[in-house]
């Protein structure tokens, strides 16, 4: 029942937008040419969605940062609904099932060109800023979610953080039929989807999110609910 409630809550809070978010960014032809705010296509991503169906698409990645020899990219839209953790228990990023999936099955489904350039990134996992809920051990990940601080740092406004939905047509059809939700109709009413951050929420069984309006929600939501996923990676330019 909690999973059903989670998918209903997630879907009723989203706009199904198949374009790249709310802005109209430039398209970069290569990582070497990419500038902050650009989008770039890097090849077909393939995985089995949590709620059913196969995702197989050359998605748009948004460039969040460019340094001397590396580029930070994030999926320009929400490409998956998945729990932060499959069990409703106290959990931190280092132990979460979402971290495991991103660095295992999801990573394996990235195009070879991305895997060849994906950097292992040291991540600091801070405690919740208002409650002090433990953030867990620091990690080293190839694929990760942004933290509360990073979600503030790399976007210019709430509107900039809002994310449309890029689920596969097959998954949308499954959700429509299984949960009797008309995603296309809901798209005309909502402005964006909740998407997970890796930081802890107010309680140890909550994780932080970006809200439908693009705000950074440090109180968070129940970890076993199926909210949006926007994977991020640092990619080497060499």
Number of domains present in the structure of the chain:
1
pLDDT at 10: 57
pLDDT at 33: 92
Q: Buried b vs exposed e over 175-200: b needs ≥16 C-beta within 10 Å?
A: beeeeebebeebbeebbbbbbbbbbb
pLDDT at 39: 97
Residues 6+ apart with CB under 8 A from 58: 41, 42, 43, 44, 45
* Consecutive 10-residue averages of pLDDT for the chain (238 residues): 54 41 70 95 97 96 96 96 97 98 98 97 97 98 98 96 90 88 61 90 98 93 96 96
Q: What sign does the dihedral 49-52-55-61 (CA atoms) show?
A: negative
pLDDT at 186: 62
User: 102 lies in which domain range?
Assistant: 2-236
**Residue 212 to residues 39, 94, 162, Cα–Cα distance (Å):** 21, 26, 7
Q: How many helices (H) and strands (E) does the chain have?
A: 8, 13
pTM of model > 0.85 = yes
């Amino acid at each position: 029942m909690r999973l059903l409630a989670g998918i209903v809550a997630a879907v009723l809070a989203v706009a199904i937008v198949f374009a790249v978010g709310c802005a109209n960014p430039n398209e970069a032809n290569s990582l070497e040419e990419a500038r902050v705010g650009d989008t770039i296509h890097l090849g077909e991503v393939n995985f089995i969605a949590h709620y059913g169906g196969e995702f197989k698409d050359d998605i748009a990645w948004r460039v969040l940062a460019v340094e001397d020899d590396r580029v930070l990219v994030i999926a320009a839209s929400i490409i998956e609904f998945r729990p932060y953790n499959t069990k409703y228990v106290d959990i931190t990023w280092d132990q979460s099932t979402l971290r495991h999936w991103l660095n295992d099955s999801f990573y394996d489904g990235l195009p070879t060109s991305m895997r060849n350039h994906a950097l292992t990134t040291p991540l600091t996992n801070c405690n919740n800023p208002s409650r002090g809920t433990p953030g867990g051990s620091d990690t080293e990940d190839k694929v990760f979610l942004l933290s509360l601080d990073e979600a503030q740092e790399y976007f210019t406004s709430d509107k900039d953080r809002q994310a449309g939905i890029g689920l596969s047509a097959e998954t949308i059809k499954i959700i429509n039929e299984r949960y009797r939700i008309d995603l296309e109709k809901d798209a005309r009413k909502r402005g964006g989807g909740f998407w997970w951050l890796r930081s802890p929420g107010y309680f140890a069984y909550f994780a932080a999110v970006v809200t439908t309006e693009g705000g950074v929600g440090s109180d968070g939501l129940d970890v076993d609910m199926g909210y949006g996923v926007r994977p991020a990676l640092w990619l080497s330019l060499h």
